[in-house]
Amino acid sequence: MTTEEKTKTKAPGLKPLGNRVLVKRLEAEETLKGGIILPDTAKKKQETAKVLAVGEGKKDKDGKLIPVPVKAGDLVLMDKYSGTDVTLDDEEYVIVRADDIIAIVEE
């Protein structure tokens, strides 16, 4: 991923609530190693996403706030079919629960 791709995505004015996270899936590669070009219908849903906005967290049984473990700008791996797809200004985003995020990708 180029530096431009990392910085060009920004939050679209949506603020997730609770332990939810607003992410944008990264585009899947269109060409395989052998030079085969994949049509849109053959691409799998990408599991890598960039965090755009984060909710405040959730409260435990004692009322103590547990913050979300990711922050805006993080690159994360998430469950393939998790979250709710949202389209705003012709851009597609996903709102996922923090529990559906598997890992933070460190560069």
Going along the chain from its start, the domains and CATH numbers come out as: 3-104 (2.30.33.40)
pLDDT per residue as tens digits for the range 42-101? 455 558 899 999 999 999 999 999 999 999 999 999 888 889 999 988 889 999 999 999
d(CA 38, CA 27): 13
DSSP 41: G
pLDDT per residue as tens digits for the range 6-27? 435 566 788 999 999 999 988 7
Record the pTM: 0.74
